Structure 1
Amino acid sequence: MKAIRIYEFGEPEVMKIVEVERPAPAADEILVKVYAASVNPADYIIRRGGNEGLKPLLKLPMGLGIDGAGIVEELGSEVTEFKKGDRVYGVPNYLDGSYTEYLAAKSTQFALMPHTINFNQAASLPACARMAWSGMVEKAKVQPGQRVLIHGAAGGIGNLALQFAKAYGAYVIGTASAHNADFLRELGADEVIDYNTQKFEEVVSDMDVVFNATPTTTVDEALRLRSVPVLKEGGIFVCTHGVWPSEEFKGLLARKKATVLMAGVDINHQHCFTEVAKLIDAGKVKAIVSKVYPWERAAEAHRDSETKHVRGKIVLQIRQED
């Protein structure tokens, strides 16, 4: 089979489509015939050599891609929740990669795809949906009538967090560029703040939840500190990056009896993806795909993603859908 592998860390051109051995599923795994995979910031971070937390775990050569969609080709002997031919979406085993014609992964990391969307749309969801669902639904436990502020609301995680909050009845305010204002309103945003011309802390207050979905960690600490005044007493700040905030930030939150929570920790993937599929099939959530690239153009897709101004997700199409 063919798969994208990197044999050195560096720019997008280090990604090569090569012939590799097709994996065989273990007893608790499924073999997925992959039709599409999405491009996430984690992919280019890993391609460059990783951050401080990832560097010790990365071993060359390696694959890329942290989510995808396809058809169940084989079942491990202990797998009972799927059958051959099922259309599924989910995440590969850690650091195995989804830019590949076939992947073997634990069955608990996949769920049946929504019936109302195609493989490209389904592949755009898992990695971001698990963060948005974990942070907004499981950690913040968003409730009808609550006021929610989402930083980076037009991105892959942010647009899903917005849609989940609206599906659960919240009043949602999103920050984005003016270019994305109408897009966010179409997804249900009650208000949109242009971060280039407005300071959110001057126009919002009494937020029950502040959800940080910005695609970069470089501005996180300043954004966190600016967010504290807009939280109501007892409010919740949700992080979506693996870097915990400073003691200064946590001290400011403590004075408001507010809480900081990390999305994506201890998540039940199969439950998350099953619930997201229900929301999509019910018409309450949309899969937002900004562009689809054939996987032969993965380098171009990565360069597009690295602009950090993608609306929704970029998808790599591995196979044409029948």
Structure 2
Amino acid sequence: MKAVLLKQAGGPENLYIDNIDKPTIKDNEVLVATKAISLNPADVKPKYVDDMLNMLYGKERPIILGWDIAGTVTEVGAAVINFKEGDKVFGMVNFPGVGNAYAEFVAAPAAHLAKMPNNVSFEEAAATTLAALTALQILKGNINKGDKVLIQAGSGGVGHFAIQIAKNYGAYVITTASAKNKDFVLSIGADEAIDYHTQNFEDILTEIDFVLDTQGGNVLLNSVKVVKENGHVFTTTGTDFPEEAKEIAKANKVNLSGMLVKSDSNDMNILKDMLESGAIKPNIYKTFAFEAMADAHIEVEKGRTVGKVIVTI
């Protein structure tokens, strides 16, 4: 089968296509013929640094990047009961861990997948994986109907799903976005959009119940300042919080947490239901052919995507 490989740390020019053996599956896995792959900053950024690659993938080279796939089941492990050959499936494979997603075939634990709803394409399904799971796992059980929720960077991969999911849960949704993306974020459910180029959200907002932060740094610090007592700030940037942020959170009795998304078929099935009902809809910013994976990486690295970048096979 064809796979996109990375032999050593470096830029997109280090990605190359080669023929390798098709993976064999374990009893709890299915073999998926990949039709679409979703790219994330988590795919793109670590490839530059050996230590990051070693942490995520181990020291063996070459490696296959990626976690987000949609495709068709071609083989089913002996212990798998919820999928059969021919099923269309989607999911985030083995995160955190090695997903080997940039390939024509992927061995995926059945516990990481869901069946695709009939009303979405492979591209849309692949898009609704890591970013959507991150938003869901942060928001689910943590916000209530009527809460004032601030979503940072609402036009991004995580952000545009978070707006829709928070709105589906009945929240009043405020987001930060550039002026050119204001209409987009309002169209997917945001009640207010703050232009981060010309406005400081910390000068405008108070008494926020919940913040979902994807930026870290000063954005995280200022997010803590606008949350009311016993409110919550959740960030996707880890748990190494700035000391000032921790001090303000403690003084203002604000909960400050970090979260790393995890593969989970139960949550994938929640996303499936949301896709099926129309509660969420991924925005596909650009689509690239498998042979143009390097170009897809370059696009993600620009940091200006509205929604998701997809690669098709």
TM-score band (shorter)?
over 0.9
Paired amino acid for 1:275: I
Equivalent residues in 2 for 1:27-106, closer than 5 Å: 27-49=27-49, 55=55, 57-59=57-59, 60-93=61-94, 94-106=97-109
Partners of 1:155 and 1:213 within 8 A in 2? no
- Residue 137 of structure 1 is matched in structure 2 by 140
Paired amino acid for 1:32: V
Paired amino acid for 1:45: K
Task: Please give the secondary structure, in 2, of the residue aligned with 1:264.
Answer: coil
Deviation at 1:46, TM superposition (A): 2.6
- Residue 240 of structure 1 is matched in structure 2 by 236
- Residue 217 of structure 1 is matched in structure 2 by none
- Residue 275 of structure 2 is matched in structure 1 by 280
The equivalent position to 1:121 in structure 2, one of 121, 124, 131, is 124
Partners of 1:25 and 1:104 within 8 A in 2? yes
User: TM-score if structure 1 supplies the norm length?
Assistant: 0.92
* Residue 292 of structure 2 corresponds to residue 289 of structure 1: no
Q: Deviations over 1:57-101 (max 9, x none)?
A: 443200011211001111111111111111110122322421110
Q: Deviations over 1:140-190 (max 9, x none)?
A: x21110000111110000010111000000000010111110000000100
Partners of 1:191 and 1:211 in 2: how far apart? Answer: 15
Deviation at 1:261, TM superposition (A): 2.1
Q: Which runs of 5+ in 2 are unaligned?
A: none
Runs of 4+ in 1 over 3 A off after TM superposition: 50-58
Deviation at 1:56, TM superposition (A): 7.2
* Residue 112 of structure 2 corresponds to residue 109 of structure 1: yes
Partners of 1:159 and 1:254 in 2: how far apart? Answer: 30
- Residue 146 of structure 1 is matched in structure 2 by 147
Report the RMSD for the aligned CA atoms in angstroms.
1.6
Paired amino acid for 2:258: M
- Residue 259 of structure 1 is matched in structure 2 by 255
248-257 or 59-68, which deviates more? 248-257
The equivalent position to 2:293 in structure 1, one of 270, 289, 298, is 298
Partners of 1:282 and 1:143 in 2: how far apart? Answer: 20
Partners of 1:51 and 1:239 in 2: how far apart? Answer: 23
Deviation at 1:50, TM superposition (A): 5.5
Q: Which runs of 5+ in 1 are unaligned?
A: 215-219
Task: Please give the secondary structure, in 1, of the residue aligned with 2:34.
Answer: strand
Deviation at 1:53, TM superposition (A): 8.5
Cα 1:120/1:57, change in 2 over 3 Å: closer
Paired amino acid for 2:187: E
User: TM-score if structure 2 supplies the norm length?
Assistant: 0.95
Partners of 2:286 and 2:18 in 1: how far apart? Answer: 24
Paired amino acid for 2:143: V
Partners of 2:89 and 2:114 within 8 A in 1? yes
Deviation at 1:51, TM superposition (A): 6.0
How many residues align structurally? 310
Partners of 1:293 and 1:317 within 8 A in 2? yes
Paired amino acid for 1:171: Y
Partners of 1:260 and 1:181 in 2: how far apart? Answer: 28
